[in-house]
Amino acid sequence: MEMRDKIKELRENTGMNRKEFCEYFGIPYRTVTEWERGTRKMPDYVFRLLAYRIKMENFAEKEEVDEE
């Protein structure tokens, strides 16, 4: 799976649209758009930090479904 697909999946698992995701994390909308399109590469450490924060804040809907 390419990084752009991982980023989009991470965002979708939160249940947020792109605008909400950007506002919540304080990331410019255009940056996330370019990450998801693959025209700009998200640093690996940023992806890991976002995934960690989502996990710690119990944001991921996917995890909630798995627990039920």
Q: Classify the C-alpha dihedral 39-37-12-62 as positive or negative.
A: negative
Cβ count within 10 A of residue 41: 11
Reduced to 3 states (helix: H, G, I; strand: E, B; else coil), residue 27 is coil
> Is the pTM of the predicted complex or chain greater than 0.85?
no
Tokens representing residue 15 in the block: 């249940």
What is the per-residue pLDDT across 10-65, written as a single tens digit (0 to 9) for each? 999 999 999 999 999 999 999 999 999 999 999 999 999 999 999 998 875 544 44
Task: Say which CATH class 3-67 falls into.
Answer: mainly alpha
The distance in angstroms from the start CA to the end CA of the chain is 27
